[in-house]
Amino acid sequence: MFLLRNLFCDASLSRVYVNFPDPWYKKRHASRRLLQASFFELLFARLEAGGKLLLTTDSEPYFRQALILAENSGYYRITESSPPSATLRTKYATKWYAEGRSFYHASIQKHTGRPSPIPPQIRRELGMHHALLNGSIPEVTEFDKVVHHFEDGHVIVLDVMRMIGQEGLVFITRTHEPELVQELFIQLRPARRAQADLLLSVMNLGKPLATRGSSEAVRAVSRWLTQRGLTLCGTYY
């Protein structure tokens, strides 16, 4: 859902392949299923006219439920058939085929209507967030977890580490946004080229996305630092 919602624009996809999605059989896990009414609504917006979802699964209950949801949406034309041979060549599909399992396949084709635009939920931003501060790097002997809430998400500052062999601190944070969780390392170090004493910035470790969550993570750490005597002199969040 994250990829479909945030990386593709409306009417940009000709084919979407879903092979052996996790059926999440337990009732309490039903909300984790990919193939839900909201998925077919979003898929309708992202598919071009005549575009298709090609679904293959070994779970007949999940398969039947998915077809009912697609049909009830009123957006699709459904054709059941045998699965293409290519979908049965994976390690697990080969094993299941040898065990005599049944497989189910359908082409779910967009055929009607003009969808309402569905914008991305995650706001991608240019450049990574940072802040400039004046003061000295604080001595940290103990640390209590910090939780910072914002609209549709929150940040947890889990811990802080001192860098070995150089000046600085690294704050370990986790951001929670709709359909996206990121682990971020936010570094406080001397600002050698900026008009400030210290630079607070998101490290590139893991190639994090610049989103509202990373912005709020820098804000949360900045607030923690100002509560310990540092002063903000410039922000980009």
Residue positions annotated with a catalytic role: 22
**Alpha helix segments (H runs only) across 23-85:** 37-46, 60-73
Query: Which residue type sits at 42?
Result: L
Residue owning tokens 């996809």:
13
Query: Residues 84, 85, 88, 91: is their CA dihedral positive or negative?
Result: negative
Q: How far apart are CA 59 and CA 57, in angstroms?
A: 6
Query: Which residue type sits at 40?
Result: F
Q: Which residues of 136-151 are buried (b: 16+ CB within 10 A; e: fewer)?
A: ebeeeeeeeebebebe
| Cβ neighbours for 176, distance < 8 A, ≥ 6 positions apart | 153, 154, 155, 156, 213
Hey, what are 122's tokens? Answer: 């995650």
